[in-house]
A and B are shown apart, each in its own frame.
Chain A
């Protein structure tokens, strides 16, 4: 009997570990983060809900670094409809915004949430909204998106997902690589590829469903495209030499990549329906890590043609090349904001690798991170944060930093080295 309890307890422990491999902690938040209260949403049914929706919303807003959600234990009242709101209860706690709501069972096992946002100081309702889903976490993230957009004017990216790679050492010269897809808060993580050989450079197609990556599963590097829904994997390249750094064009019809089949690492663009390859660069130096400008007319890439790795932009039609980075002697792995204005990169200064952002309009470079061995910047589709990989306690971990560097968040993993995050487009 005791053994049985032990087994049940152990299984419950395993389930809680499996629940989210990544959890989030804010390492630097805003001093002037907005005080907000997300009151537990009402639920009139006898069964207990499997998820705490208002806690998920609070965690989302907290993770953005821009909000300071009130601990629910400090709440003086817990209104679930407008008639129950007493502004003084919130004013004394210096809460600026209040969110209340109700969860309602909808057809076919779905849930609906009707919620309302109040401005405490102006003592008025500023937004009423409804979200629905068969998944309470998805429903909570959809509510977070609306609250964030209402209060900041910027579209929320809480309903997006990410890809990342973990590497676990199973013994000397024996590793296990896993490619995950997960919600951006680390939940609903799912392994979509597992291999003893390296997996790297995962990236999303603009449709938010297909992903491309490099896998050594055939013992040599090849680029694959995989459907995250069906799991179907398709080999795209298998040329001699490097097959690396895939990047979908903004329209999803072309894939930029690096191939060394002609002797040097060069940038190529493949038209995905025909498989036709167009060579973009022609230089004896290393050219790699292509990405696209939002208009799909240029590729931006890393090249050591100037003697050290720097970032360049080439117009595909004319071949005209322009150097974009001049600060320091190591700038690599470019990523552009959706408006094309800001260029995130890996930047070395004083021998330390940081994430930096260059404002391509003003020409200023801003080093955002204070961690070391920072890699693989990937920008949120709303340009609020940059996900990147870094080292913490001798292990690879994922972190995020706001574009202005004022907020940093760490997503620690419970096991293995985590690396190469890629933030999905809006879904």
Chain B
């Protein structure tokens, strides 16, 4: 009895989500196979992501050489995460700051912290609570790209957002 109710409910959600989307042939096909649990969940998941800011998929923002100001191309990603943190007070994020290999290790440790703090401050300015954000610098210790030229260095001058609870 309860199983029937649950399946019934899922079918309703699936139907609602299809109604909410455009009625393309693919959607109809998806809806027709919505009799099993997994497919129903998939279709609800598709529905949720349709409402989510795609910038929330981005977890890394990049910086210019020896700089720690937030670049224009990082604003969309950070704003999306700030909105998510604001809407989900239980979410916690760790902002990890990194530097490229040039320059001294301890100076890069300080530079990495500056970058992480700049990203954290941006999140806070857009509505995240500072209690949701933790900051750590790895300096040049954890490069993302292993080369020794600008194309690698530009990948390594970064701040990464790592959710420790309630990741989007």
> Chain A residues in contact with chain B, CB under 8 A?
173, 198, 200-201, 216, 220-221, 241-242, 244-245, 258, 260, 265, 286, 288-289, 302, 309, 330, 332-333, 346, 348, 353, 373, 375-376, 391, 394, 419-420
Shortest Cβ distance from B75 into chain A, in angstroms? Answer: 24
Instruction: Name the contact of A258 in the complex, choosing from B106, B111, B136, B138 (C-beta under 8 A).
Output: B106
Q: Are B105 and A201 in contact (CB under 8 A)?
A: yes
Q: Are A288 and B107 in contact (CB under 8 A)?
A: yes
CA distance in complex: A91, B101 (Å): 52
Shortest Cβ distance from B63 into chain A, in angstroms? Answer: 14
Residues of B within 8 A of A394 (CB): 148
Q: Are B105 and A265 in contact (CB under 8 A)?
A: no
Given contacts A241-B113, A286-B111, A394-B148, contact A373 B106 (CB under 8 A): no
Residues of B within 8 A of A330 (CB): 103
Q: Are A242 and B104 in contact (CB under 8 A)?
A: no
1/0 contact trace for B99-119 toward A, CB 8 Å? 001111111011101100000
> Chain B residues in contact with chain A, CB under 8 A?
101-107, 109-111, 113-114, 135-139, 141-142, 148
Residue of A216, A286, A373, A376 ringed by the most chain B CB atoms within 10 A: A286
Task: Given A216-B141, A221-B137, A309-B103, output 13 extra A-B contacts at Cβ < 8 Å.
Answer: A173-B142, A198-B141, A201-B105, A241-B113, A244-B109, A245-B106, A286-B107, A286-B114, A288-B106, A289-B104, A289-B107, A332-B104, A353-B102
Q: Are B104 and A346 in contact (CB under 8 A)?
A: yes
Identify whether the interface residues of A are mostly helix, strand, loop, or mixed. Answer: strand
**What are some 17 contacts across the A-B interface (CB < 8 A)?**
A173-B142, A201-B105, A216-B138, A286-B107, A288-B107, A288-B110, A289-B104, A289-B107, A309-B103, A332-B103, A332-B107, A333-B107, A353-B102, A353-B103, A375-B104, A376-B105, A420-B105
Residues of A within 8 A of B107 (CB): 286, 288-289, 302, 309, 332-333
Given contacts A260-B113, A286-B114, contact A241 B106 (CB under 8 A): no
Instruction: Name the contact of B148 in the complex, choosing from A200, A242, A375, A391 (C-beta under 8 A).
Output: A391
CA distance in complex: A391, B136 (Å): 27
**Chain A residue at minimum C-beta to C-beta distance from B138:** A198
Residues of A within 8 A of B104 (CB): 289, 302, 332-333, 346, 375-376
Residues of A within 8 A of B110 (CB): 242, 244, 258, 260, 265, 286, 288
Q: Are A201 and B103 in contact (CB under 8 A)?
A: no
CA distance in complex: A333, B109 (Å): 13
A-B CB proximity, top 5 nearest: A198-B141, A333-B104, A265-B110, A286-B110, A245-B106
Residue of B103, B110, B114, B139 ringed by the most chain A CB atoms within 10 A: B110
Given contacts A286-B107, A333-B106, A333-B107, contact A373 B113 (CB under 8 A): no
Instruction: Name the contact of A200 in the complex, choosing from B101, B136, B141 (C-beta under 8 A).
Output: B141
Q: Are A373 and B101 in contact (CB under 8 A)?
A: yes
Residue of A309, A348, A394 ringed by the most chain B CB atoms within 10 A: A309
Shortest Cβ distance from B119 into chain A, in angstroms? Answer: 15
Residues of A within 8 A of B105 (CB): 200-201, 375-376, 419-420
Given contacts A198-B138, A241-B135, A242-B137, contact A288 B109 (CB under 8 A): yes
Residues of A within 8 A of B148 (CB): 373, 391, 394
Shortest Cβ distance from B49 into chain A, in angstroms? Answer: 26
CA distance in complex: A77, B23 (Å): 100
Shortest Cβ distance from A106 into chain B, in angstroms? Answer: 45
Residues of B within 8 A of A216 (CB): 138, 141
